[in-house]
Each structure stands twice: as C-alpha cells, then as structure tokens.
Amino acid sequence: MSEPTNFCGIICEFNPLHFGHSEIITRAKSIAPVVCVMSGNFVQRGEPAILDKWSRTRLALQNGADLVLELPLPWACSGAENFAYGAVSILNSLGLSGTLLFGSECGNAVILEETAGILLSKRFAAMLTQELESQKNSFAATREKTLLLHFGKKYAEILQKPNNILGIEYIKAIKNLSADLKPLSIARLGAGHDTTALAGEFLSASEIRQHILEEKDISNILPQNTASLLTELISRGEAPHTIDSIERAILACLRQMTRSDFAALPDISEGLEHKLFTSIQKAKSLEEVYILTKSKRYSHARIRRLVMSAFLGLRSNLPKRPPYIRVLGMNQTGETLIRKAKLTLPLAVRPSDFKRLGDDALMLFELEANADNLYALSSPTISSCGNDYTQPIIKL
C-alpha cells in the first residue's frame, strides 16, 4: 500500500496554461489536493510571461489547482538548478508529506533518481571538475560527456532532454533539502520543447505563444477558459506581454551599467561580465546582445537570463532560498490545506505581511513589485504601477 500524501505539488509557469498542463493537473487531482508553485510575471526563458500572474493563477484554479503559491523572481528567472531548488523549498516549507508530480520525456522517476544520485556523488563531482578544467565546452555539455565516459549512454541520454534535466534538478533539490516529497514523473504530453506538434499532438507552450503573436486562431489549441481569457485581454490591449515591447527599455538600462554592475549579477562567472559589457556596447538589439555574448561555454538561455536579471535589478547578494510563502490564489480546499500545514516559513498574503517580516522578505517583495511595474510596460497598452500592492489573492 502506498504511503499517504497530503498534497500533490506541481512546479509550473503556465505560459500559457494549455491542454498538457490541464492533463497533468487532472492527474495530480486524482492523487491529492493540488498545490502549484508558479513563476510570477517573468519566466525562466528570460522574458515576460505572455499573461500576467493573476490571470494565470485564475486559470490554474479553474483547471483544478487548489492552491497557487508564487515562486519569487530570483528563482523564477534562474537556471534549472536554482529554479528547482527554490520551488521545492517552498513545497517543503508546508511541513507536510507530499508528492511532486512532473512531466519528463522519459516519464520514469526511477531512472531520473538514479541519475540525480550520480550527479550528487563526490566521485562524479571530482570527475566533472577535472573535465571542466580541461576543456571550454558549456557546463551542460561537459556534464553530459562526463556521464557518458564514466557511467554510460543510459544516463548521458537522459541529459539530452530539457524536462528530464528539470526533473533531475527537482530530485536533487528534494535530496539536498531532505524534503518529505515523493517524486512522480509521467511522460510529457504533446510536442517537445520548442518543436512543432505532429498531427493529434498537443502544441507546446512555445508554439502556442507563436500562434498568439501571429494573431492566429487559438480557440482549438487551448482549453476554453484560457482561450477566452486571452481573447478578452488581447481585445483590451492587456495581452500579450512580450519582450519586444520593452526592448528599448532593457537596452537603455544595460547601456547605463558598468562592468562592476554586471559582475554583481547572479550566475556570472569566469569574466563573463566583460564579454557581456562589450557586447552591449556594440549591439543594436537584444538578439544581437545574445549572439555576440553566446559561446560554446555560455548558452543563449543563460545570456537571456543574465540580461533580464540586469534589467530587473537582480544581484548575487540574494538569499539562497525563498524566505516566505506567498499565496496568489486558492479555493476552499486550498484554504483548508493551508490551515492544516505545519509551516516552516511565514505566510505572506498582503503587502503589510512583508513589511512586518522585514529583512529578506521585504527586500524580495519590493524587488518583485518593482519588476511587476516594469512588466506593466510589456503589454500593447501600458498599465499603471502598483499592482502587487492592490491586487487581492484570487479566490474561487
């Protein structure tokens, strides 16, 4: 008999919420009440989310989620390891045993756990350090090569798919935090990341975003409530949010920064600040910044995140893990779950809660609120500031 679980966690962006997301929520719902840890208005791609976090919270609840918690900005805009660590730490802070459900290309938590165990071992760490010192490939490519050389094709191939990698990082975070979470993976539904869907497949989020930007019909490629809300917000000029709308604002910010400013960014290393600074002096567009800075060692995705971190005011002197649990939305089941929880972090719902907590919590909330003010510039019609101070939590 399986061990009881108090909740089923999903770590997500819902950018936007599509049929694949709806299916995984339904699967989670069959296990236990569903707790989503969701990125706010900026996502891991180093871009604004196409829909604001309050709209995505409402859609999550309408599609079966019971409680939606915010993954704070520094972790939402980070690479896979920090993204996973921040989200898992929030689920762990509920103080309840739970299940973490996620999609992966392999759909097999056992092989992902085995791979995570290897990556966390001292033996592998020593091998990886030696390989990194002897070549100039990216960390990801060197890690995969090290696995292939010393542990075989079975594990190396797992690292070739993005959702497998994210699943491994979830499991590593569970192990590092000694979290009372059981990882459960199902085969990823629909088209692969950044690929075109085949006949009968669910479209990937990236392909759906492209449909939206090209003003194509979205009524049949999204759940009805997502399509309806998107259509309504687009008609009012409140969506889609795009990086193109704030490109000049980002470039203006970057051109005012010094080498020392870039050196203070999170995830900067090996003199990358100098290459980024030089690229920005030459570039006439964000895409040109990415291209000029990218190399075998530094991926396009990493450069995008660094650029967004610079624009949003993120610096390396941030806490290692989120210092609070912020509720974006819930239904009655979610409210019951919060009352049942044995919280190991303070709960924050209103702006006054952050002021009372002070220190890291207040600093991060103010950083989030400032980022959301900049997010308000990224829609077709510019909206006013202060939404984080005035928007109540979504209750269904």
pLDDT at position 134, please? 83
pLDDT at position 198, please? 47
pLDDT at position 191, please? 53
Separation CA 326–CA 354 (nearest Å): 10
Exposed (0-12), middle (13-18) or buried (19+): which is 333, by Cβ within 10 Å? middle
Three-class DSSP category at 378: coil
Q: Torsion angle, CA of 357/361/366/371, rounded to 10 degrees? A: -150
Running along the chain, 396 residues long, what does each successive block of 10 average in pLDDT?
81 96 96 98 97 98 98 97 98 98 96 97 94 83 93 95 97 98 89 54 89 94 96 97 98 97 92 95 97 90 96 95 97 97 95 94 97 98 95 95
pTM above 0.85, yes or no: yes
pLDDT at position 269, please? 86
pLDDT at position 1, please? 35
CB under 8 Å, gap of 24 or more: what pairs does 133-141 form?
A: 136/296, 136/297, 137/296, 137/297, 138/296, 138/297, 138/298, 138/299, 139/297, 140/165, 140/299, 141/296
Place of tokens 């936007």: 16
Determine contact, residues 163/103, Cβ cutoff 8 Å. yes
Q: What is the CA radius of gyration of the chain?
A: 21
pLDDT at position 196, please? 60
Residue 149, H or E segment? helix 139-151
